[in-house]
């Protein structure tokens, strides 16, 4: 969506205030620096898409002292009057609403337009104004304006972190306000404004506090490995404000009727993988719509199989199980299990699901029934639990659990998985590492208050694998 036929008359430097060891304003475990980085990255990416020459002072949680920040601003496009500086901040002090401060050397036009657009996006408008240094009223109060030469800097305060209403808006609508700034700036510099596509624009996602690779991948219906491969990530660590490319599924791809998903490992080549699964390299390329024979670790490939090869059962790993023990019971090798399940390690845990051949002679009483609905509640048996206590927890009966899970005994084993029919109109969500009420509410397009009310939560504290009902 670049405006390639237009040439911007001005350049823009986007500044994410504070950062690193300088958190800015704080409200509990909520830090201004994180908000600043999130909205700054968003504005930077949107302006770049619209063809505006743009630079960002920091795109990670980095500590910048005053001198370094000013140096980056002035070195981006030079100390010129055609350079706009957007310094992004969150206020504190008990007020409510957005403010925009413009420099003594500039007119009010841009500041007024930014505040008006933020107001149109739903935030309360306070004022746009200039602020003078008390000891020398001929100078700007803020260094971002006082020390940035001939540029046109505006300091944008999106709301008050210590105001309940504003904090809610900042947690739920901050990027809407960022889009408002984009609209005001493009109109000001004469670049046609093209609204953002609903959702994440141009397959770009900006990491927020509480995000994890799992939560982001799950949100977009892709795998963690696909997300890592698209961004050349070698670890699962993310930084607030980090920009990720979201790979999309090509609607023109016709999937084979039967296939498995294979995750590329170190030392793999297309020839090696094709040989292992007794197919041709050309078939592998065609099924995956590859444009090159190069593959990367973590990339996922579809491996076409025949119906006999997909004739499998699901086995739930029990305490004391090992791949060697399972393989021995099935009269197959550990490598057979590893290959069938595309495992990256031979370490397994109770509750893990493994695909095994239906010819495998192994006790599958702990297996989920094939007709279980994917939205059913998945319960992992913990120490001292009984069918009675589980039935009480979910408002059902012992007989219903036995029948639904095809159990032949009332005896449960640690790590065993049970499925409870979901008769609720709500979505079941199990809390993942690094989840927060904020990230969950954004993911399901709801609000923190709605989740807390539905689940009778009295605090924002969550724990891993906690079941939440999502309205």
Give the list of residues 6+ apart from residue 237 with CB closer than 8 angstroms, or none: none
Per-residue pLDDT tens over the stretch 210-236: 777 877 777 666 777 777 777 777 777
Q: Is the Cα torsion angle 191, 192, 195, 196 positive or negative in sign?
A: negative
pLDDT on residue 86: 98
* pLDDT confidence bin for 23, thresholds 50/70/90: very high
Same domain, 86 and 181: yes
In this structure, is residue 436 part of a structural domain?
Answer: yes
Distance in Å from the first CA to the final CA of the chain? 34
The four Cα atoms 429, 430, 434, 439 give a dihedral, to 10 degrees, of: 10
Per-residue pLDDT tens over the stretch 44-94: 988 988 889 999 999 888 999 999 999 999 999 999 999 999 999 999 988
- Could you list the residue range(s) of the whole structural domain that residue 444 is in? 377-470
Same domain, 43 and 124: yes
pLDDT on residue 5: 43
In this structure, is residue 63 part of a structural domain?
Answer: yes
In this structure, is residue 221 part of a structural domain?
Answer: yes
Above 80 in pLDDT, residue 312? no
Dump the DSSP string for 147-159: SSTTSEEEEEEEE
In this structure, is residue 1 part of a structural domain?
Answer: no
What average pLDDT does this structure show over 416-434? Answer: 69
Same domain, 234 and 293: no
CA nearest neighbour of 25 among 161, 154, 155, 158: 161
pTM for the whole structure: 0.48
Number of independent structural domains in the chain:
5
In this structure, is residue 16 part of a structural domain?
Answer: yes
Q: Domain with 303 in it: what CATH number?
A: 3.10.350.10
* pLDDT confidence bin for 180, thresholds 50/70/90: very high
**Most confident listed range (74-78, 223-227, 247-251, 419-423):** 74-78
pLDDT on residue 310: 46
**What percent of the chain has pLDDT above 70?**
78
Same domain, 341 and 315: yes
The SS3 assignment for 261 reads strand
Between 91-100, 314-323, 382-391, 445-454, the lowest mean confidence (pLDDT) is in 314-323
Q: Taking the CB of residue 391, how many other CB atoms lie within 10 A of it?
A: 18
Residue 415 DSSP class: T
């Amino acid at each position: 969506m670049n405006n390639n036929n237009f040439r911007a008359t001005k350049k823009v430097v986007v500044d994410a205030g504070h950062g690193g060891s300088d958190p800015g304003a704080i409200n509990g475990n909520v830090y201004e620096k994180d908000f600043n980085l999130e909205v700054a990255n968003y504005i930077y990416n949107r302006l770049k898409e619209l063809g505006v020459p743009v630079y960002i002072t920091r795109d990670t949680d980095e500590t910048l002292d005053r001198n370094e920040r000013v140096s980056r601003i002035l070195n981006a496009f030079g100390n010129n009057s055609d350079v706009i500086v957007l310094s992004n901040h969150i206020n504190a002090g008990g007020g409510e609403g957005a403010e925009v401060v413009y420099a003594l050397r500039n007119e009010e036009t841009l500041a007024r337009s930014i505040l008006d657009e933020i107001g149109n996006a739903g935030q309360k408008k306070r004022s746009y104004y200039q602020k003078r240094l008390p000891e020398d009223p001929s100078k700007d109060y803020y260094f971002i304006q006082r020390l940035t030469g001939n540029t046109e800097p505006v300091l944008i305060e999106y709301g008050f972190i210590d105001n309940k209403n504003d904090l809610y808006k900042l947690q739920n609508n901050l990027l809407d306000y960022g889009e408002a700034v984009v609209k005001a700036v493009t109109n000001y510099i004469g670049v046609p404004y093209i609204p953002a596509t609903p959702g994440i624009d141009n397959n770009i996602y900006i990491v927020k506090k509480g995000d994890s690779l799992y939560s982001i991948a799950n949100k977009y219906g892709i795998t963690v490995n696909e997300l890592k491969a698209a961004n050349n990530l070698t670890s699962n660590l993310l930084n607030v404000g980090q920009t990720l490319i979201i790979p999309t599924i090509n609607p023109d791809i016709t999937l084979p009727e039967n296939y498995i998903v294979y995750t590329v490992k170190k030392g793999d080549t297309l020839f090696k993988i094709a040989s292992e699964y007794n197919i041709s390299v050309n078939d592998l390329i065609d099924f995956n719509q590859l444009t090159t024979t190069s593959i990367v670790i973590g990339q996922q490939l579809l491996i076409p199989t025949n119906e006999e090869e997909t004739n499998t059962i699901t086995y739930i790993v029990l305490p004391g199980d090992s791949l060697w023990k399972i393989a021995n019971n099935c009269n197959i090798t550990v490598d057979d299990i590893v290959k069938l399940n595309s495992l990256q390690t031979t370490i397994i845990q109770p509750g893990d699901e493994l695909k095994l051949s239906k010819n495998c002679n192994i006790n599958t009483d702990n297996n989920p029934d094939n007709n279980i609905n994917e939205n059913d509640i998945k319960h992992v048996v913990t120490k001292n639990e009984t069918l009675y206590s589980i039935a009480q927890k979910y408002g059902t009966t012992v007989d219903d659990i036995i029948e639904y899970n095809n159990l032949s005994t009332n005896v449960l084993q640690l790590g065993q998985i049970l499925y409870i029919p979901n008769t609720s109109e709500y979505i079941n969500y199990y809390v993942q590492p690094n989840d927060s009420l904020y990230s969950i509410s954004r993911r399901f397009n709801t609000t923190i208050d709605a989740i807390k009310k539905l689940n009778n939560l009295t605090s924002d504290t969550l724990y891993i694998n906690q079941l939440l009902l999502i309205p």
